[in-house]
Structure 1
Amino acid sequence: MPNKATIESKILDAAYKLFLEKGYRHTTMDDIAKLLGISKKTLYKYYPGKFELLAASFEVAKTKLTAKVEAIVDNRYISFPLKLKSTLSVMASLLGPINPGLFEDLREYTPEIWEGLAQYINESAYTRFKQLLEQGVKEGLVNPTVNINLVVMLYAAAIQSLMDPKFISKFPESIQNGMKIPPADIYDQAITIIYNGILTEEARNEFANA
């Protein structure tokens, strides 16, 4: 018989999947129980409601992201451009699948979780991003005349704006339609544009082939 931790992990995986697909508002405990093939009564034995499921599932996602990013940043055997790409890929694995509707739900219905996620991204993702850029300057791969704090803020502003449906809605419809690409592709292209502007020629060549 599966232990409590295994069951909780399966419940969180199923809940997170539905939150990503349907948003928070349109996901019910019935939906989660049905996906798991268990009764709603059994589900309530482990979690008292969908708010607690949302909070716990995001904590799991953040813990996994932190471990992956730290492993990349601390790995001395990975080249700098590959670290940049790998870090992006890991960050996109958390942010990419989250559709704008879920972000809107988080801000409106669970502001504490929204603020926690924003704080986590600031403290974890952006701080490590700055560390990577500092490493790149030391290795002669990032142009030393570039203000790396500005680069981090440009990236943060781009990502936060592109996650915000209200920001996107301000643009002409033709531009909005042209942005209908997967979130992971948006992050990938945003970072590539920024990196190409800050890397030295040697690093650009390596980045392109990484």
Structure 2
Amino acid sequence: MKERILKVSISEAERKGFRFTMGDLAKQLGMSTKTLYGYYPSKEELLNEMIDLAIEELKMKEEEILHDSTLNLVEKLQKSLVLIPADFKFAQLKYLEELQRYYPKQWETLDDFIHEQWAGIFSLIDEGIVANQIRPFNKEIFIEVYIGGLYRLMEHASQNRNMISLQDTMQEMVDILMLGILNGNVNEEN
């Protein structure tokens, strides 16, 4: 039953953001709110489990990418940087801002993960530098730009009605970070 509750909760979060109520959720599940609270004594506990599940999925997906022999180094790096839990692929960026604003403890868990999950990406970058596929650069600045960009986009999404998906936002940001903004033939023209 807990698995079913989690699945419907993720669906509710995708539709309404993290501000769905336990009453809404109980109605979607066809059970009483009292029964729902028997499984999850608070919405915060439910959110904790949702976030833990998403983080575990991200870790597993990253491991799959890192060990996928069909991908080259640049593809692995790009895929790792745009990882989003499957159930949240179409989520709106503003929902992350809602989590930050209304559920600070749950946001802290996600924020810690966002700041600490860089070992696999560092390993790919180092491999790319050694292979001369990636120029040497300050990885700490890269992380700060990535995280700062993500958080700034979250703030903007909460104020803007433009409903760009989290997946599309992450892909665009990573494309800019990895490929820059210049056409490949700019140096040839000068």
Question: TM-score interval w.r.t. the shorter chain?
Answer: 0.7 to 0.9
Counterpart for residue 172 of structure 1: none
When residues 181 and 105 of structure 1 are mapped into structure 2, their CA distance, relative to the original with a 3 A threshold, is closer
- Is the counterpart of residue 117 in structure 1 residue 100 in structure 2? no
- Is the counterpart of residue 21 in structure 1 residue 15 in structure 2? yes
Give the match's secondary structure for 1:90: coil
Counterpart for residue 148 of structure 2: 157
* Count of residue correspondences: 182
Counterpart for residue 69 of structure 1: 62
For 2:150 and 2:89, the matched residues in 1 are separated by: 10
For 1:75 and 1:102, the matched residues in 2 are separated by: 31
For 1:103 and 1:164, the matched residues in 2 are separated by: 9
Q: Find 1:35's aligned residue among 28, 32, 35.
A: 28
When residues 94 and 138 of structure 1 are mapped into structure 2, their CA distance, relative to the original with a 3 A threshold, is farther
For 2:144 and 2:88, the matched residues in 1 are separated by: 17
**Cα offset, 1:70, TM superposition:** 1.9
Q: Is the 8 A contact 1:92 1:184 kept in 2?
A: no
Q: Is the 8 A contact 1:129 1:152 kept in 2?
A: no
When residues 142 and 79 of structure 1 are mapped into structure 2, their CA distance, relative to the original with a 3 A threshold, is same
Q: Is the 8 A contact 1:65 1:90 kept in 2?
A: yes
Give the match's secondary structure for 2:83: helix
Q: What is the correspondence of 1:165-204 to structure 2 with a 5 Å cutoff?
A: 165=156, 169=159, 180-197=163-180
**What is the TM-score normalised by the length of structure 2?**
0.80
Counterpart for residue 6 of structure 2: 12
Q: Find 2:44's aligned residue among 40, 51, 57.
A: 51
Counterpart for residue 82 of structure 1: 75
Q: Is the 8 A contact 1:104 1:165 kept in 2?
A: no
For 2:81 and 2:28, the matched residues in 1 are separated by: 31
Q: Is the 8 A contact 1:92 1:187 kept in 2?
A: no
For 1:15 and 1:65, the matched residues in 2 are separated by: 18
Q: Is the 8 A contact 2:22 2:33 kept in 1?
A: yes
Q: Is the 8 A contact 2:6 2:50 kept in 1?
A: yes
- Is the counterpart of residue 136 in structure 1 residue 128 in structure 2? yes
For 2:150 and 2:88, the matched residues in 1 are separated by: 9
Q: Is the 8 A contact 2:92 2:165 kept in 1?
A: no
RMSD of aligned C-alpha atoms?
2.7
For 1:195 and 1:100, the matched residues in 2 are separated by: 21
Q: Which runs of 5+ in 2 are unaligned?
A: 185-190
AA in 1 matched with 2:131: E
| % identical equivalent positions | 29
Q: Which runs of 5+ in 1 are unaligned?
A: 1-6, 170-175, 202-210
- Is the counterpart of residue 91 in structure 1 residue 74 in structure 2? no
